Amino acid sequence: MMTLSTVTCLLLLLAPPQTPPANAAPASAAPAAPAEPLEVRHVPAAQVLAGNNLVLRAEVAPAWRLGALVAHHRTVGEPAFRETAFELSADGTYAAVIALSPEQRVPVEYYVTARDTDGVENVRFASADTPYPVLIEVPQYTLEREALLEAYGQRRSRVSAFAEYVDYGSQTLNGTRYADRYYRLEADYLYRLFTQVGGMSIDSIRIGVGHLRANTPPFGLIAPEGESLPGLRPGLDYGFSEVDVGFSPFFGLGVRLTLGGNATGFSAGIGGKVRIGRPNGARAEIEGEYTGGLGGAATIRLAWDTVYRFPMSAAVQVTNVPSGPTGVRLLYRVDYKFSDAFSLGAEAGYQARASRGGGPTLGFAASYGW
């Protein structure tokens, strides 16, 4: 006789197997782990030195999750952004180099986006609506150089010519009357450097040539009794070079070297100048120069530009050029600027030697810059 437990076991063995629902998950399956998020750390630059590129740096973790990291940048005021991709650097960070022209002064603004390996892209720093601005830092000497170039119309080169006639009047020695006069012709080329070297600015260099011829009495010579000496004809053909150095916008020095020759041999000369005031505006200049075979000169000059297009100057000069007694010259010059590039000038004056009768000075100048 079968027991109740035996019957129950037989029924369980004869029952058909049951299949689980199609949408039922296996009891042993675990939910998928979320992907590791992409993190971007970026410290913005407040400013960049003029003439340098703007370098943006960022750290990314984990690096294998990065698809692309892009800086969207533009100059303030431009309608559209340009794109520059970050690239992996040797130190493990990412860098984007944004090229800036040396002349750029308007700030740059940017924002940063990142795309991960899943193709999801989002903004990581600032935004297109509120980009981050980076100022352009301009050193003081650069501002001064740009202001000077602007005053000269961005023209660095200049050629000029100058002609001068100087008459000290006639002199009577031992009963003979002599002329005392000379003329000078000069032409030069000037280049404005405005280059900073060791805390001072090399403003310009100038090279030129000159031609001087004179008729003078035989100063210092004694004629035999009853005879007269012929007049002297000193002169010099020479070349010169100058360098002007600025220590500030209102103070500068200049040095001049002269080399020349005539029928009696070679001559050398040296000169210097101190400037107080702006080189292209109101200023005072103290000059000194000596050239072998010609003599020396000391000059005080005041220049001003209060009248539009008519720069002027007045000077007092003590000199013994050309190789005579010391004389004093009073000079006045006015130029007319037809444009920022071209000007003509005229000089007038009076001079005398050792309180004797004097004579006039007449001079003309022309210059062209580019």
CB atoms within 10 A of CB 198: 6
Which range of residues forms the domain containing residue 95? 38-137
Q: Is residue 285 part of a domain?
A: yes
Alpha helices in the chain (DSSP H): 4-14, 140-151
Phi, psi of 176 (to 5 degrees): -110, 135
Domain shared by 65 and 212, yes or no:
no
For residue 137, the one-letter residue type is E
Q: Is 10 a member of any domain?
A: no
Euclidean distance between CA atoms 296 and 288, whole angstroms? 8
pLDDT of residue 239: 98
CATH of the domain at 57: 2.60.40.10
264 and 177 belong to one structural domain? yes
CA distance 350 to 106: 53
243 in the same domain as 99: no
- One digit per residue, the tens of pLDDT, for the chain of length 370 reads 455 555 455 554 555 555 555 555 554 555 655 678 899 999 998 999 999 999 999 999 999 999 999 999 999 999 999 999 999 999 999 999 999 998 899 999 999 999 999 999 999 999 999 999 999 999 888 888 888 888 888 899 999 999 999 999 888 777 788 889 999 999 999 999 988 887 788 999 999 999 999 998 887 777 676 667 888 899 999 999 999 999 888 999 999 999 999 888 999 999 999 999 998 889 999 999 999 988 999 999 999 999 999 999 999 999 999 888 899 999 999 999 999 899 999 999 999 986 667 899 999 999 999 9
Residue 201 lies in a domain: yes
How many domains does the chain contain in total? 2
d(CA 58, CA 85): 12
30 occurs within a structural domain: no
Residue 278 sits in the same domain as residue 150: yes
In a domain, 18, yes or no: no
**Residues 276 and 170 placed together within one structural domain of the fold:** yes
One domain, residues 69 and 169: no
Q: What is the pLDDT of residue 30?
A: 54
Is 155 contained in some domain?
yes
CATH number of the domain that residue 296 is part of: 2.40.128.130
Same domain, yes or no, for 322 and 282? Answer: yes
Asked if residue 33 belongs to a domain, the reply is no
Residue 92 located in a structural domain = yes
Q: What 3-state DSSP class applies to 269?
A: strand
Exposure b/e, 26-52, CB count within 10 A at least 16 = b: eeeeeeeeeeeebebebeeeeebebee
Q: Do both 301 and 349 map to the same domain?
A: yes
Residue after which a domain boundary falls, among 91, 118, 137 = 137
pLDDT for 1: 47
Which pLDDT value is given to residue 293? 84
Q: Please give the DSSP secondary-structure letter assigned to residue 34.
A: P
Same domain for 356 and 267: yes
| Domain boundary, last residue among 82, 104, 137 | 137
Out of 87, 106, 137, a domain closes at 137
> What was the pLDDT predicted at 144?
82
Instruction: Give the amino acid at 251.
Output: F
Examine the domain organization and report whether 130 and 178 are in the same domain: no
Task: Classify 180 in phi/psi space as left (phi over 0), alpha (psi -120 to 50) or beta.
Answer: beta
166 and 112 in a single domain? The answer is: no
CA angle 316, 320, 326 (to 5 degrees): 75
Is the domain of 84 the same as that of 158? no
Q: Measured between alpha carbons, how far is 283 from 311 in angstroms, rounded to an integer?
A: 11
